[in-house]
Amino acid sequence: MLILAALLTAVFPVVVTVSACYDLLTMQIPNRFPAALAITFLVLAPLSGLTLPTIGIHLLVGLALLAGTFALFAFGFLGGGDAKLASAIALWLGIEQALPFLVLTALFGGALSLVVLAFRSIPLPGFLLGWPPAWRLHEKGAGVPYGVALAAATLVVFPDTQWFVILAKI
């Protein structure tokens, strides 16, 4: 049972990292990534010994962040994929790590935005002219691949979660 829990727990950082890479390359986060995180959490939570009230709190944190991020999406400050990914991540982190995750996401997101804006202010280097992901990232009206900031914040707080303890036991 411990090995199954550890394998399912490993899904979390892997899917978050793949989501960030996908967002960086395509400027999109497909629904399959947040869905995989949510489904894996729902399977793993009872297997790892979380009580129903604790699972409920995790669900409330995820739903609260979904509401908040969709408000940001509605005003054009955040992409829909970013909103769904952030809420799926919060589902895993629960109330204990939600605030550090949000603060780090804001800091990393601000730094990422500055780097992207600086990249867009210079001509696209010649060696990148034939690479479509570079075009998308360099496009002046395009958004910022915020999944990168979400993943960076997640990976910083992940070692402070109960899931990391499960993964470290194997």
Dump pLDDT digits (tens) for 55-78.
Answer: 999 999 999 999 999 999 999 999
Give me the residue label for tokens 């793949």: 18
Rounded CA-CA distance 119/103 in Å is 24
pLDDT of residue 163: 83
Q: Are 46 and 56 in contact (CB under 8 A)?
A: no
Residue 1 binned pLDDT confidence (cut-offs 50, 70, 90): low
DSSP category for residue 130: T
pLDDT of residue 2: 65
- Domain containing 18 equals 2-168
| Residue 7 confidence (pLDDT) above 80 | no
Number of domains in the chain: 1
Rounded CA-CA distance 161/98 in Å is 11
Instruction: Tell the burial category of 2 from Cβ atoms under 10 Å away from its Cβ (0-12, 13-18, 19+).
Output: exposed
| Residue 8 confidence (pLDDT) above 90 | no
Residue 168 binned pLDDT confidence (cut-offs 50, 70, 90): confident
Give me the residue label for tokens 């986060």: 29
